[in-house]
Amino acid sequence: MSKTIGFGIVGAGLIAPFHLNAVKDSVGGKAIGIFDVCVERSQQMADKFGIKVYSSLNQMLDDKDVHVVCVATPNHLHKDTVIAAAAKGKHVLTEKPPAMSLAETDEMIAACEKAGVKFGCFVQCRTRKAIQAIKKAIAEGRFGTMLHADAYMKWFRPQSYYTSDGWRGQKQSGSGVTVAQGFHYIDLLQYIAGPAAKVEAKMTNIGHPGIMLEDDVIAHIEYANGARGVVQLSTALWPGTDIRIEINGTDGTAIMVGETMHTWKFRDSRPEDEQISKIGNASQATGAGGAADLGHADHTVVVQNMVDSINTGAAIVIPVAAVRPSLEIVLAMYQSAKYNKPISMPIKDDLSVW
Ligand SMILES: NC(=O)c1ccc[n+]([C@@H]2O[C@H](COP(=O)([O-])OP(=O)(O)OC[C@H]3O[C@@H](n4cnc5c(N)ncnc54)[C@H](O)[C@@H]3O)[C@@H](O)[C@H]2O)c1
């Protein structure tokens, strides 16, 4: 019989309610408690969701009702929590990016492997139906030879977003648009069209004066399969429009806008194409104009998969090991922008990019 899987959340900021709502909507998952270094934030979230407040991370990790720890702290702080949770035998779901370097990511993966716990990542956009349809069509060869795989994220965040919390305005905390918001869409390209062979990127700040990080990047990816792609990421483009993922091959084109399949055309048209071309719901917000302007349905799929995989013993579908190549592309973009040259894979960490 399936057991109820308890979740503890670390970090009670913007994304925490998305985790808590996802657990609430899951079948077999139950939110147990929350820990934040800021007690008022934990208390507020606990009151809203009817869960416990822990006074320390260790208190959460000692709670036998907690089976999974969701890490929702700033980008540069994931590692210590992940390693502590694994050491206490808890499964872990970390927010993206997993960490700020490949070495830290590898350390976390190794710690979870050693402890025999599952280690997943909230790159929840992978679960969108349109992305799954594109992934399947690629596996079936429907695109023919892949030519282009592009991501466009033309979003807007006001100046106040970057000054609202210390870490949000700091490049070394992982708040630049490439590793923060853009991570999802680089991850989608890697998931669909990767691995990448070479990247080149130009980064700048065009809309947030005095904030010492890039809010705009234009990059080029050469994939190992011979395709090429453009990546445009920005938080400076008012009012912000839905992201676009565009895949073009010799035999087909697919374009996802937000979570909606905007274009789905193949030389070998099939009966199922009519349904696939209707995927999505144009009214579902996907983050273009504000950080909280987002649904939690994709997070729910990730949480549900963790619950099911603990109960069945099956592997989780988005382990951090499968997200590492996306982080590598992101880090290569920072290196390319810093040294003004293309960067080939594999790369070595270069912490001076921060
Ligand atoms: N998957 C998504 O779509 C998505 C969207 C937004 C943010 N995120 C990710 O979620 C994470 C958190 O982002 P956010 O926007 O919620 O940030 P936030 O600043 O709103 O919240 C972070 C919280 O962590 C707390 N905190 C800091 N250090 C801590 C520690 N050592 N232990 C416990 N709590 C600690 C802070 O007090 C704060 O309340 C980041 O990794 C971010 O990239 C993901």
Q: Which tens digits make up the pLDDT trace of 176-186?
A: 999 999 999 99
β-strand partners of 254: 247, 264
Question: What pLDDT, on a 0 to 100 scale, did the predictor assign at position 287?
Answer: 77
Pocket of ligand 1 (CB under 6 A): 10-15, 35-38, 41, 72-75, 77, 95-96, 122, 124, 165, 180, 291
- Give the pair of three-digit tokens for residue 327: 């982080």
Question: What pLDDT, on a 0 to 100 scale, did the predictor assign at position 290?
Answer: 79
Question: What pLDDT, on a 0 to 100 scale, did the predictor assign at position 17?
Answer: 97
Determine the Cα–Cα distance for residues 348 and 317; give it in Å rounded to an integer: 27
Element (H, E) at 133: helix 129-139
**Residue 343 scores a pLDDT above 80:** yes
Average pLDDT over residues 43-48: 98
- Give distance in angstroms: CA of 245 to centre of ligand 1: 26
Question: What pLDDT, on a 0 to 100 scale, did the predictor assign at position 165?
Answer: 83
- Give the pair of three-digit tokens for residue 84: 């502590």
Element (H, E) at 217: strand 216-223
pLDDT category, 276, cuts 50, 70, 90? very high
Nearest-atom index, ligand 1, CA of 164: 19
Report the relative pairing of strands 196-204 and 5-10 from DSSP bridges.
Answer: unpaired
Report the relative pairing of strands 228-234 and 343-344 from DSSP bridges.
Answer: unpaired
